Amino acid sequence: MGMARTPLIVVALKEEAAHLDSRYPVLVTGVGKVSAAVAVTRALSTRELPSELINIGTAGALREGFAGTQEIKTVIQHDFDSPAIEALTGQAFGPSITLRADGPVLATGDVFVSDPILRESLAERADLVDMEGYAVAAAATAFGVPVRIIKHVSDQADGGAFKSWQATVDECARALAIFLHVS
C-alpha cells in the first residue's frame, strides 16, 4: 500500500519558509507570476500529485483593518486586463479564482505595490496584494489539485512597503509556520 499523499507548501522566497518544520515538502518558486506558474507546473508534472497546495507568504494590506495571518477567499490578477482581452478574442482569460466561502480577496500582480494611487485603486477590488498567489492557484487548478492561500500581512502596500517587508519577513515566516502547525 502506497504512502498517503501530503500537501506541498509553496513559497516565493526561502525567507518565507524559514521557520517551517520538515513534515511537508516545500517548493520555492521565485518572485512573480511567471516564476510561480512555471515552478508549480514543473513540480506538479514531475511527481505524484500532492493532496493539496498550500501557498504561504507575505502580502500587503490594501485596506485598514487587515493584519496578521489571513486565509484567502478569492484571488484575482490586478495587472491583467481580462475585459479587454475578452472583448478582443471573445474568450475569457484570467477569471477570478474562488478558493473558499469566506475571507479576504487577494490581488496578484507583477508589481510590488508601494504607490498610494495604485493602492487606492486596488483597494476597490481587493483587501490584500501579493505577487504569486493567482499563478499558484491557476496552476494547481489546472492539475485538479486543491489549493489554499495563506498570507501574513507584512506591510501596508504604501511608501514604506519595501522597508516594512524587509523588517517583518522573519516575523511573518514565524507566524505562517505556527498557522500551518495548528491548522
Instruction: Read off the pLDDT of residues 129-172 as tens digits, 9 standing for 90 and up.
Output: 999 999 999 999 999 999 999 999 987 766 655 566 677 888 89
Between β-strands 69-71 and 147-155, what pairing exists: parallel, antiparallel or unpaired? antiparallel
User: Cell numbers 507568504 correspond to what residue?
Assistant: 57
The predicted-structure confidence for 5-38, as pLDDT tens digits, reads as follows 899 999 999 999 989 988 889 999 999 999 999 9
Q: Which CATH class is domain 8-178?
A: alpha beta
Domain boundaries, the chain: 8-178
Q: Contact 146/55 with Cβ under 8 angstroms?
A: no
